[in-house]
Copies of this chain bind each other. A is one copy, B any other.
Amino acid sequence: MVDTFSRSCPMPIMEHDTIQLAHGSGGKLSADLISGLFLPLLGNDILNLLEDQAILQVPEGRLAFTTDSFVVDPIFFPGGNIGDLAINGTVNDICMSGAQPLCLSAAFIIEEGLAIKDLHRIISAMAEAAEQAQVTIVTGDTKVVDKGSCDKIFINTTGIGCVPADVTISAGSIRAGDKIIISGTVADHGMAIMTSRENLSFETRITSDSAALNSLVARMLEASTAIRAMRDPTRGGVATTLNEFARSSQIGITLFAEQIPLLPEVRGACEILGIDPLYVANEGKLITIAAPGEAEKILGAMRQHPLGRQAAIIGEAVSDHPGMVTMETGLGGSRIVDMPVGEQLPRIC
């Protein structure tokens, strides 16, 4: 991890204060936007060539390849903005396969009229997040749509990573007895977005957990390669990820309610709003399933990393109720944790 943000650029002096349709035309204003704002912040030997495609030298082996579009509303929120979210989200999808990220693409759809200073703030956050995750953006695209045809800015990032030869992680490989580990507190990102969108104020401000998990994953794989499955519980939260695991492996999963890490302010906000934190999005957490004999070793490695200090074993895979997730509550009761049916919170990421 890189601690300091070594790259910055002052607000560029541009002909306009806001994004014009012509910034997406492929002509002179597009070229000004790229040379004045994108390249000073994101530039590198490959991106600077400005070819329509990046050419990468890759070793023989397995590549992880993943895509995500980010449409979060609001675009600025406590703990981050759409820019760092777009980097971290795709880095995380890559490294959930055990791969280390190699590079990303970034494609922007911008609404006519977006303030250049807002775009500068977003691209600065992308540059900082990319540097922290030690990943480069090697190719990109910018489209501008007329006012009213999108909401401020949408960002797609697509990434490539190299999967180590000895690692095979798959949602379908979970066995009874395996332990369910989460890397930290749940529901922080979703509740940060929700409270900031609704202008709700609590005593302690809830902050998004947006973070790149690739260095945490590297630490875990150093400790043990006996990781069966791994996924970041974003949209749909922990409940959705575990239901996907249960279905893919045709195994039951039992959660222990009291073991699930939850910040007091997030618990409070969820109670007030009547929301189950298990269904709320996270953007800097992972769930991993470990063979029983290896779980403590992996947990120990996670707790030594800044992003895994509050890691905990929150459940286990069972041969009962295959394909289903249940939760044991403190009072000895048990309930089904189903896939969410409706939409709790649109545009969370």
Q: Which A residues are closer than 8 A to B by beta carbons?
A: 20-22, 24-31, 49-69, 71, 73, 93-94, 96-97, 99, 103, 105-109, 138-141, 143-146, 148-151, 154, 156, 158, 160-161, 163, 170-172, 231-232, 234-236, 240, 244, 248, 339-344, 346-347
Kindly list chain B residues whose C-beta atoms are within 8 Å of the C-beta of A341.
Answer: 22, 27-29
Partner of A140, one of B25, B29, B67: B67
Partner of A156, one of B69, B138, B145, B151: B69
Q: Is the Cβ of A66 less than 8 Å from the Cβ of B53? A: yes
Tell me whether chain A's interface is mostly helix, strand or loop, or mixed. mixed
Bound Cα distance from A67 to B140, whole angstroms: 6
Identify the closest chain B residue to A244 (Cβ): B50
Partner of A26, one of B66, B69, B240: B240
Kindly list chain B residues whose C-beta atoms are within 8 Å of the C-beta of A146.
Answer: 346-347
Copies in the complex: 2
Kindly list chain B residues whose C-beta atoms are within 8 Å of the C-beta of A73.
Answer: 149
Identify the closest chain B residue to A237 (Cβ): B26
Identify the closest chain B residue to A106 (Cβ): B67
Task: Looking at the assembled complex, report how far the CB atom of A347 sits from the nearest CB atom of chain B, in whole angstroms.
Answer: 6
Bound Cα distance from A24 to B21, whole angstroms: 28
Q: Is the Cβ of B20 less than 8 Å from the Cβ of A343? A: yes
Task: Given A25-B346, A145-B346, A346-B21, answer yes or no on A56-B65 (Cβ-Cβ < 8 Å).
Answer: yes
Identify the closest chain B residue to A156 (Cβ): B156
Q: Given A21-B343, A25-B342, A67-B140, output 14 extra A-B contacts at Cβ < 8 Å.
A: A26-B340, A27-B236, A52-B66, A53-B96, A53-B161, A54-B64, A58-B62, A65-B105, A66-B105, A69-B143, A107-B156, A145-B346, A146-B346, A149-B150
Task: Given A25-B343, A150-B154, answer yes or no on A64-B68 (Cβ-Cβ < 8 Å).
Answer: no
> Which of A27, A105, A151, A236: most chain B Cβ within 10 A?
A27
Q: Is the Cβ of B60 less than 8 Å from the Cβ of A55? A: no
Partner of A235, one of B25, B67, B170: B25
Q: Give me 19 A-to-B residue pairs in the complex whose CB atoms sit less than 8 angstroms apart, sorted by A's number.
A: A21-B346, A25-B235, A26-B235, A27-B339, A27-B341, A28-B340, A50-B244, A51-B170, A51-B171, A53-B96, A55-B97, A56-B62, A57-B63, A58-B58, A58-B62, A65-B138, A67-B105, A73-B149, A158-B158
Kindly list chain B residues whose C-beta atoms are within 8 Å of the C-beta of A160.
Answer: 63, 65, 160
Identify the closest chain B residue to A59 (Cβ): B60
List 8 tightest A-B contacts by C-beta distance, closest first. A26-B235, A26-B236, A27-B340, A67-B105, A158-B158, A53-B66, A60-B60, A22-B343
> Which of A106, A150, A234: most chain B Cβ within 10 A?
A150
Task: Given A66-B139, A105-B66, answer yes or no on A51-B97 (Cβ-Cβ < 8 Å).
Answer: yes
